[in-house]
Structure formats: structure tokens, C-alpha cells
Amino acid sequence: MSKRHLFDSPDGLVNKALRGIIRYNPSLSLDEANRVVFDSDYDRSKVVLISGGGSGHEPGWSGYVGHNMLAAAVQGDIFASPSTKQILAGVDAVPSDKGTILVITNYTGDCLHFGLANEKANAKGHRCRTIICGDDVSVGRKGSLVGRRGLAGQIGVLKVMGGAAGAGASLDEVYDLGVAFSQQIVSIAATLDHCHVPGRAEHATLKEDEVELGTGPHNEPGYKKLSPAPAPQDLIKQILTHCLDENDPERGYVKFAPGDESMLLVSNFGGMSHLEMGALVDELLEQLEHDWRIDPARVCAGFLETSLNAPAFSVSVINVTAAARACSYSADQIKAFFDARTNTYWESVAGAQSKRRARRDQLVRAPPPPEHKTVDPAHDLQADPELLEAMLRTACDDLVAAEPDLTRWDTVMGDGDCGETLKTGATALLAALDAGLAKSSSVVSVLLELEDIVESKMGGTLGGILGIFFVSLRAAVEKAGGGGDGPVALWGKALGTALENLRRYTPAKVGDRTVMDTLMPFAEAMGASAGFDGAVDAAVKGAEATKTMTPRLGRATYVGGGGGGDNKELPPDPGAWGAMVVIAGLHKAFIAGRK
């Protein structure tokens, strides 16, 4: 796979792409600060659909904004979920009198951020619900707590839900249809090689004679490598067997009875030629009819959900009849919803534009800066300003220095965004320190700044986890700030409270190979009065232990083999290691400041 790109750096690339994408349709607007593309002509008297996720999957999701589909889409960085703040901006941009449904794919970062946004939107008065779509059969029923991850089957869900919403269906009707339809999809992907992310030095590749089955759209390794590469007919036979073999206890997710109507979606990951895609669809249809007695009522092929420039594809088969049995609509009605025409970028012809709107009118002006949050001195925690600054700077500098390793390790297990996400947060905090953040001696002010940095600049799974963590930690410190507890006891209680709140949103625990393998031992040691020294030792041991753990949560779950049972050593979990680097940096400066 070529590493050459027209734009060699990811800096500013997502915003620039969004500014270009909206130009084909004058009804689209862009809230550039929050990366929200929305339809200015949407009908607020109808149910509103909003989706989003990491960039690099175009036309997902900004390319699906338009009549009879999405009212708004929220874009994160490349392969990283958008932040909760961005998603809330999307909900606010297209308020609905009938209600809003957030439709996302099953990735931990998306689930965390969209889930939090759903709660906050309802608290603000919106009627908001969330549907999580998981259709990948390469993720078996055993050995994973996260369930099936989302592939391009979600586009079919958006299409039928959009058609129903456009026809005036109620919130319950659209929601029930989306749930029923999403549960009747089986998908799997096959990769000839991985994609290359602009600006990244690390790049996973496949050998010339390998094909990977069960890959994800973020460069996650598949669960099986086929070598030598099978003939196209044999590969497609394996793909359909994984999707349709109802006797497979691991992957028989959907049953197809004789006479059931179905749909076929074939997504080009970005690097397949149109010539080969046509041949692929033909072979799929031949084998579906000959081997499985399935003749899809609808076939949709092309760029549905891409992975930058990856020479890869996914196949989705949907049982429409079974979906109809689980909702209030017939199979014919569901097909009609799927057929509803849209004016989205995806369905337009080469982005052609019949009329124009001034470019500046399509770009939403940046909102005014948020009001400065005041800190109640009675609930604050004071620290020596020089020591506070030294500790924060050391932790940030060490985290920036660790970014190449974190990125390399995350590339082995997934999409490689962990290091960049943490570096973004560290760089933003350093800028705040340059502006005098620590001079007030206020620990709560620092935590408020961290909340804002995480919420506005750090997407992805780690951003979601840290966002919840810092909000809870700040609230716990404010509650205890005026008390008489010593610093170790105070931080022990506050960390324990923050982690308890975090468990409401993630089942991760020690041993699952996540950031919690560092945070939980650290918090427990502080709470047990082991002191700062002992807590840091616990954090280091927790991060080191991830090298031999079998992943149970996150994208690393999808890697076939590694860790655990055969004592094979993997790279450390990058999130756990990054948290350890921060804790160790704080401790290093603390010790130096006491001398």
C-alpha cells in the first residue's frame, strides 16, 4: 500500500474536507468548530436522525446528510470518535418536535461519547434515543465483552430509518424499525492490505500472498490470515459461509428461511477498482443464489463506509422479512423506505450542484468563547503553584515524548490514534500552563481546564473515558476540598469516587487490558493509604501487566490470538501505558520538588 498522499499531514485535513464536501449542496451548513455538517432545510416536525464517527470513512457520515436520511453528522479525527461536546452541538443544530435518534456503530469511543451526549441532550429537554449497530460476524459470541463491531451494514439502517422518518413516522416507529433492521444484518470484511493514515510513520502491511479476513475499518487486524491468498471464488465462499452458516455457534447471528426477502450491501473500503467491485458483486450474487438460495431484493455496492485508501471490502446480507416481523412495518414498506431518494452527497451525481450558495453562508460562525467558570474557594484545593506547574509540565512533556511508542503500539492493535489523542491533550494543557493556569494555586481550576480540553479536543475511546473521569474527579475534589482529610486520603477518596462513576459507562476492570489496568490499581493504592509512592508503583505494575493480557474490551479485542493463555507478550496497552507515564511524571516532579 502506497504511503503517498496529496495532503501528507492530517493537520486541518478533516475540516478542509468538510468545507469541500458541503459545497455540492447549498442546503448544507458546517459548524466548523464542532465539525457538524447539518441540513439547514431539515423538517423539525419530523423525527431527526444524527450519526457520526471518525473521519476517514467517507462518505460516512457527512455524505449521508440530506432529505430522507441524516439531519446532521458529527465528524471526529481520523478513525477517532467525536467528543461529547461536538455531538451535543449536532443535536442543538437540528432540534426536532418529534424527537432525535442517534445512530452509531458499535465502537467503545462512539458508545461512550454518544451515550453521554444522549443523556445530556435529554437533560436539556430534547427527546433523544440511541441505537448502536453491530453487524460484524468475525467477532464471535465468546471471548468478547463488546459484542459485534459495526461495519457498513449501518448504512442500510440509516437508509430505512431515514425513509421512515421522511414519511412522517413517529419516534417509536422509527426507533423500533432501526433496532429490528440492525439486528438482522450479518457482515464481514476482507483486506488485501491495510490503509495508510496521512502523517503516520507506522503502517501495518500484509504480505504479497496474504489476505486478511475479519478486518475492521480502522486498520484493526483481522481474526484470520489466509495464506496463500485464495482465489476470489474461494474467498467469497468463505465470506458467505461465515455470514450465513446458521449452524456456526460463534457466528450464526441471523437465520434466513426459504422465501425471506433480503438485501445485499457491498462496501468498497477505498482502494478497490470499480472493475473488480463489479466482478465481486457478480460472484456474490451467483454464490448466494446457487449455494444459499438467496436472491436479494435490493443490491447496493460502492463507497458506503471506507477506510481511507485500503484495498478491501465488506459484505453485508440483511434479512428484511425477519426485520419486518420485529417492527410495525411490512417487508414491502421497509423496501420502500430503503428506496426513498435523498439529496445526500453519497446519492448525488459526482457532487454536481444545480444552484449555489455563498461559501461564507454555509460556514457557521464560531460560537462565542465559553464563560469563565468560577471556583468556590470553600470547595477548592490549594497547592504550591510552582510545584503544581512543575508536576503538570513534567507529566505533559513525558507524555508528548512517549507519543511515538504509544502510536506504534496502538497501530499493532488497532488504528493508531491513542498516542495522538494523548499528545493533543498534553499539548493543550501545556498551552494553558503557558497562559498562567497554575499560578492561581487552584487544583479545581486545573481540573476544570482538563475537563474542557478532553471534551473539546480529545475524541476516541480514551477521550470518552477521561472525560467522565475528570468530571467525576473534579466534583469529588470539590466535595472534599474544604474537609480536614490529608492529601493522600483526599485523593484516595476522590479517585475512588471518579472510578465508581466511570463504571456506569464501561464494564472495564483490571485484567481486561485497558487504561483501567493503570487507573484502578493507582486509585486503590491511594485509597488504602499506600501513599503516593506506593500508588505509583501499583500503576507501573498495572501498565506492565497489560503486555501478557488477552484483550477483552476495545479494538484490540478483534486481534486473533496474543497474550493471556499462551503467555505471548504483546506491546503494552497504549492507554494504560499513557496513563502510567502521566502518573509517573507527576510523581517524578513531586519528588524533585520536595528535595
Does residue 274 carry a catalytic annotation?
no
- Rounded distance between C-alpha atoms, residue 469 and residue 475, angstroms: 10
The torsion angles phi and psi of 331, rounded to 5 degrees, stand at -60, -40
- Rounded distance between C-alpha atoms, residue 423 and residue 404, angstroms: 10
- Rounded distance between C-alpha atoms, residue 165 and residue 171, angstroms: 8
537 annotated to a ligand binding site? no
587 annotated to a ligand binding site? no
Residue 405 burial (CB count, 10 A): 16
187 annotated to a ligand binding site? no
Alpha helices in 47-152 (DSSP H): 84-93, 108-123
110 annotated to a ligand binding site? yes
Task: Give the single-character DSSP code of 442.
Answer: B
54 annotated to a ligand binding site? yes
Q: Which residues contact 161 (CB under 8 A, 6 or more apart)?
A: 49, 101, 103, 174, 177, 178, 181, 337
Q: Which residues contact 461 (CB under 8 A, 6 or more apart)?
A: 81, 107, 108, 109, 112, 554, 555, 575
* Active-site residue, selected from the candidate residues 113, 126, 194, 218: 218
Can you read off the three cell numbers belonging to residue 482?
474544604
DSSP secondary structure of 139-205: S-SSS-SS-PPP-THHHHHHHHHHHHHHTT--HHHHHHHHHHHHTTEEEEEEESS----TT-S----
Q: Which residues contact 343 (CB under 8 A, 6 or more apart)?
A: 25, 27, 66, 67
Q: Which residues are annotated as a binding site for substrate?
A: 54-57, 110
What are the binding residues?
54-57, 110
Residues that are catalytic = 218
